Chains A and B, each alone.
Chain A
Amino acid sequence: MASMTAETELKGLMLASQEGDAAAHRMLLERLSRHLRAYYKGKLAQIGRGATEAEDLVQEAVLAIHAQRHTFDPGEPLTPWLHAIARYKLIDFLRRNRAFMADVPIEEASEVTARDDHLSVESSLDLRRLLKLLPEKMGCAIEAVKVEGLSVAEAARRCRISESSVKVNIHRGLRALATLIAQRAQT
């Protein structure tokens, strides 16, 4: 019944994260990243790809989970939602790398939380370098609020934009960042 417990715990963290609980959000992303790492390492090993590419995918999926957490319906279990994102990002990666879809066998949703793996390697990406590729306001807003932990008001002063503009730029910037990571992860 290990997977049932994982589902209950992870869903609890997700609901708290949706309410804006930063500690729960961090714990959720940390735990999910371990499950995702095990999942992607397993999948990529089947087609002869390495740990660095698995880590790129982990980060893509973590960013997607963060940016799309509003799409999780609290009336539904978390595992199929998570599995759908993990598999979508995997297939997207394989398509970009011209691997055949047939390489991804049919699987159960529970597979995504079946194991975990905390042996992370560095991905091929550098967050600060990626931020420099974003439009100036987006990069500035994300760096100030997300990397340095400034408040929205402080970030607004530093980036010389309004507070609501900081929020919009972070939202759009994270989406753009996910796209950049996807492009960089192309091998």
Chain B
Amino acid sequence: MKTDELIAALSTNVEPVNRRVVDRSVGIALAVGVVVAIGITLIALGVRSDLTTPRAAIFLFLKLAFAIGTVGAASLYLTRLARPGGERRVSAGFAALPFAAILLLAGIRLGQAPSSHWDEMVMGKDWLECLISIPVIAIVPFAVVIWAVRQAAPTNLVRTGAFSGLVAGGVSAIGYALHCTDDSLPFVALWYGGTIVLCTLAGAILGPRLLRW
């Protein structure tokens, strides 16, 4: 086949394209992911029973702020990574800001507390549940985010996969926070932060397989 013939064929009946399709797909994936994550949490785990107490509300707010901050920064970059060459407009440092903030706060809390309390503050009551729940809840949001990115054409598949995992992990944490009653910042930093990092690593490993085009 001559390339000219191919070009002639492609130039016949050209339709305008929608430039917002990439941002829109990622936006839809986020919305679906959040609904699914909250839905699974409500059905499988249930909302924490003490939600009306001020202490619970404050910690729920802090956990949500961390998770939403993570999702916000990561999904902004994901809309860039989904486009060819978008990797040059991504700074991993900015995406890591919510993690730096929660680690800093956790460090301050630990510094204020006597070291005999540290074990309880870090391990909480249910670290195992958190370790399992966040990656499991993240599976469906991850699949939807991958679908959205596949509507576009990422050229750095490892990094795009990693950011897809980061978004999914953050979305999952938004749901899980509604259930989790471990209210200590060191706990949130280690177990929320750690499981979201696990999701990010899983995304980086799966990216090249799932995102090829």
Contact = CB atoms under 8 A, between A and B. Distances in A.
A58 B9 CA distance: 15
Given A71-B83, A120-B2, A18 B19 contact: yes
A140 to B, nearest CB: 14
Interface string B1-29: 11111111111111111110110000000
A127 interface: yes
B14 A85 contact: no
Interface stretch (A2-10, A25-33, A42-50): A25-33
A146 B155 contact: no
Contacts of A76: 89
A62 interface: yes
Nearest to A79: B85
Interface string B85-112: 1111100000000000000000000000
A55 B155 CA distance: 21
Contact of B14 (A22, A62, A64): A22
Contact of A88 (B6, B7, B155): B155
A19 B1 contact: no
Contacts of A123: 1-3
Contact of B17 (A18, A23, A142): A18
A125 B21 CA distance: 31
A85 B16 CA distance: 21
Interface size class of A (residues with CB under 8 A): 35 or more
Interface residues of B, number: 34
A85 B13 contact: no
Interface in A109-143: 109, 120, 122-123, 125-127, 130, 142
B12 A59 contact: no
Q: Tell me what chain A mostly uses at the interface: helix, strand, loop, or mixed.
A: helix
A127 B85 contact: no
B71 interface: no
B82 A71 contact: yes
B60 interface: no
B85 to A, nearest CB: 3
A167 B13 CA distance: 11
A81 B155 CA distance: 10
B152 interface: yes
Contacts of A178: 213
Contact of A70 (B3, B4, B17, B155): B17
A120 B35 CA distance: 52
Given A122-B1, A126-B1, A84 B155 contact: yes
Given A22-B14, A122-B2, A126-B1, 12 more contacts: A18-B17, A22-B11, A29-B10, A33-B7, A62-B7, A70-B22, A85-B84, A125-B1, A130-B1, A146-B10, A146-B12, A147-B12
